[in-house]
């Protein structure tokens, strides 16, 4: 039997957030004279700093390669340009800035998760062996496993900045059923296996 859990609470549809290295509001991923700043849920600002005047071509691609945006921008020294991707589907967006001696590529993940939510899947890969895959926005994630009498078998807080997968071998647990709970700051997923 394959146990599969892939739901999150209704709060997950509340907004869109971007996952980058720090995953906080006003997060900036900086590479040379070009950077992307997350300004709000689903909104980013592209910033170009250059001491010269020039022209760059800006392109945004969806993870399937489809071009969503292209514009040539002339500037004197520096400029910034806001982008609202909150109405786009979940996925990866690739920003490409080239011209005037600049070449910059940055991928930004647009998630429908609220920044404090968690999403998880639990797959039974063998009898009482489970893969737990967790998607989150850089928040602490608590995984707790309890036996059918409510006794805690396992509890750990994961502090990874990005999504992760953990395998649990519960063949030594004598309980017929176990409960796995994956908790974020605003939501949790619970499955009785």
Domain contains 93: yes
Q: Are residues 69 and 127 in the same domain?
A: no
Task: Give me the DSSP letters along 120-161.
Answer: EEEEEEETTEEEEEEEESS--EEEEEEETT--EEEEEEE--S
- Collapsed DSSP state (helix, strand, coil) of residue 13: helix
Domain contains 2: no
Question: Rounded distance, CA 38 to CA 120, Å?
Answer: 24
- Full pLDDT tens readout for the chain, 193 residues: 323 222 222 222 222 223 333 333 333 343 457 888 777 667 888 888 888 888 999 999 998 889 999 999 999 888 999 998 888 887 778 899 998 888 888 777 776 655 567 778 888 888 889 888 888 777 888 899 999 888 999 999 988 777 889 999 999 988 888 888 888 776 666 666 6
Domain contains 7: no
Question: Rounded distance, CA 143 to CA 115, Å?
Answer: 18
Q: Which domain holds residue 55?
A: 17-111
Question: Which residues are CB-neighbours of 157 under 8 A, at least 6 positions away?
Answer: 140, 141, 142
How many domains does the structure of the chain reveal? 2
Domain contains 3: no
């Amino acid at each position: 039997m394959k146990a599969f859990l892939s739901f999150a609470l209704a709060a997950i549809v509340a907004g869109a957030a971007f996952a980058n290295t720090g995953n906080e509001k006003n997060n900036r991923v900086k590479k040379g004279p070009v950077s992307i700043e997350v300004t709000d849920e689903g909104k980013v600002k592209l910033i170009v700093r250059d001491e010269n005047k020039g022209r760059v071509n800006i392109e945004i691609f969806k993870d399937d390669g489809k071009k969503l945006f292209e514009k040539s921008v002339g500037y004197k020294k520096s400029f910034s340009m806001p982008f609202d991707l909150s109405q786009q589907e979940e996925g990866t967006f690739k920003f490409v800035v080239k011209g005037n001696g600049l070449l910059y590529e940055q991928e930004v993940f647009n998630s429908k998760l609220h920044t404090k939510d968690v999403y998880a899947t639990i797959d039974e890969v063998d009898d009482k062996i489970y893969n737990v895959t967790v998607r989150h926005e850089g928040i602490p994630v608590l995984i707790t496993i309890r036996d059918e009498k409510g006794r805690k078998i396992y509890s750990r807080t994961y502090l990874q900045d990005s999504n992760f997968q953990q395998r649990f071998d519960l063949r030594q647990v004598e309980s017929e059923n176990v409960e796995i709970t994956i908790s974020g700051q605003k939501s949790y997923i619970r499955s009785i296996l």
